[in-house]
C-alpha cells in the first residue's frame, strides 16, 4: 500500500515560514508582500483560485488586491491596468488568472507584466531565464510538484521520470525541474504510442491531462512515485487523472485529489511573492 503524499501538510510547513517572514518584516518596519490578482470574466476555476488566494493571504498577513474585470474588457484596458500595477511600489507581485476571454491575446497581456513582479512566470523574460537555468520565478504548480516529490525523501537523480501532458504551464516546466534534479525525463502526450508501456518504466509518474481515471493500476510501476495533477469536477466532486484505488496498491508514494498538488499551488504563489522582496 502506497504512502499518501499529504499536500495540505506540506503546504502548512511553508505557510508557517511565510507567516514568520511577514511578521519579521512588520517588526522591522519593512514592506509587507502584496499581490494584485487579476481575473477577466467569470471563469469558475479562476474565481475559485482567486478566492483561495485572498483567503490564504488574509490568513498569512500578505496584502491582496482582487481585481475583477468584465468579460468584454478591451485588451488595451487590461494592458493599461497592468502598466499601472507595474509602477505601483506597494504591489510586488502580479497574478493573471488564465484562461482569458477568447477576444484577448494572452501573449500580449502576459508580456505587459514587468519581470520583477511576474510571480507565476508568465513572461518571456522569466520563462527564458527559467529554461536557461538562471534565477527566475518558478511556476507555482510545477514548483508544487517538485516539492511534493522531494518531500518523499527519494533521490530524484538517475530516476526515470515520465510526464503525461506537454502544456506550457505544467508539463514542460515540470520536465525542466526534473532535469535540473538529474532525472531522465520522457514527455508523453496525445500522439504518444504505447503509453502504458512507457509509464510502466517510470520511477516517477506525473499526470497532467485532465482526464479523470485515465491512469489505471496497469500504468503504474511497482514502487513508483505518482503525482496526480488532474482536476476535473464530476457530479460536484473533484477527480484526478489517476484511478487512486488501483494505483495506491502499487505506488510507493501517491498524491490524492483533492489534497495533493492543488493544496500546495496557492502557497507556492505566495512564497514567490515573498521571494520577490528579497
Determine whether the annotation assigns residue 167 to a binding site.
Answer: yes
The yes-or-no verdict on residue 183 having pLDDT over 90 is yes
Determine whether the annotation assigns residue 259 to a binding site.
Answer: no
Considering only CA atoms, which of 94, 40, 109, 47 is closest in space to residue 69? Answer: 40
The yes-or-no verdict on residue 45 having pLDDT over 80 is no
Residues 146 and 246 in one domain: yes
Determine whether the annotation assigns residue 45 to a binding site.
Answer: no
Determine whether the annotation assigns residue 231 to a binding site.
Answer: yes
Confidence category of residue 46, pLDDT binned at 50, 70, 90: confident
In a domain, 123, yes or no: no
Confidence category of residue 236, pLDDT binned at 50, 70, 90: confident
pLDDT at 278: 85
Considering only CA atoms, which of 207, 198, 218, 203 is closest in space to residue 257? Answer: 207
Considering only CA atoms, which of 248, 278, 190, 261 is closest in space to residue 2? Answer: 248
Domain total in the chain: 2
112-116, 153-157, 262-266, 270-274: segment of lowest average pLDDT: 262-266
- CATH number of the domain within which 46 lies: 3.40.50.10860
In a domain, 89, yes or no: yes
For residue range 89-129, list pLDDT tens digits in order. Answer: 999 999 999 889 999 999 999 999 999 999 999 999 999 99
For 209, the domain range is 140-262
Q: What is the share, in percent, of the chain residues with pLDDT greater than 70? A: 100
Residue 27 Cα distances to 32, 139, 169, 266, 276, angstroms: 10, 30, 36, 25, 19
In a domain, 7, yes or no: no
Amino acid at each position: 500500500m502506497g504512502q499518501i503524499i499529504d499536500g495540505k501538510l506540506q503546504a502548512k510547513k511553508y505557510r508557517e515560514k511565510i507567516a514568520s517572514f511577514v511578521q519579521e518584516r512588520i517588526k522591522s518596519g519593512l514592506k509587507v508582500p502584496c499581490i494584485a490578482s487579476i481575473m477577466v470574466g467569470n471563469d469558475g476555476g479562476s474565481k475559485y483560485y482567486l478566492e483561495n488566494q485572498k483567503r490564504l493571504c488574509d490568513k498569512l498577513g500578505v496584502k491582496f488586491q482582487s481585481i475583477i474585470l468584465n468579460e468584454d474588457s478591451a485588451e488595451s484596458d487590461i494592458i493599461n491596468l497592468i502598466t499601472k500595477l507595474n509602477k505601483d511600489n506597494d504591489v510586488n507581485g502580479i497574478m493573471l488568472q488564465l484562461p482569458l476571454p477568447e477576444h484577448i491575446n494572452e501573449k500580449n497581456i502576459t508580456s505587459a507584466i514587468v519581470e520583477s513582479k511576474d510571480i507565476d512566470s508568465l513572461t518571456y523574460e522569466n520563462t527564458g531565464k527559467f529554461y536557461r537555468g538562471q534565477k527566475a520565478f518558478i511556476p507555482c504548480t510545477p514548483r508544487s510538484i517538485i516539492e511534493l516529490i522531494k518531500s518523499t525523501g527519494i533521490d530524484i537523480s538517475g530516476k526515470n521520470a515520465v510526464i503525461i501532458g506537454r502544456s506550457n504551464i505544467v508539463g514542460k516546466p515540470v520536465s525542466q525541474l526534473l532535469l535540473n534534479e538529474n532525472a531522465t525525463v520522457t514527455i508523453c502526450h496525445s500522439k504518444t504510442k504505447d503509453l502504458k508501456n512507457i509509464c510502466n518504466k517510470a520511477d516517477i509518474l506525473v499526470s497532467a491531462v485532465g482526464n479523470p481515471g485515465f491512469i489505471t493500476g496497469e500504468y503504474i510501476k511497482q514502487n513508483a512515485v505518482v503525482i496526480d495533477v488532474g482536476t476535473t469536477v464530476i457530479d460536484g466532486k473533484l477527480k484526478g487523472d489517476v484511478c487512486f484505488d488501483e494505483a495506491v496498491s502499487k505506488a510507493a508514494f501517491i498524491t490524492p485529489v483533492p489534497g495533493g498538488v492543488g493544496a500546495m499551488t496557492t502557497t507556492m504563489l505566495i512564497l514567490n511573492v515573498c521571494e520577490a522582496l528579497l
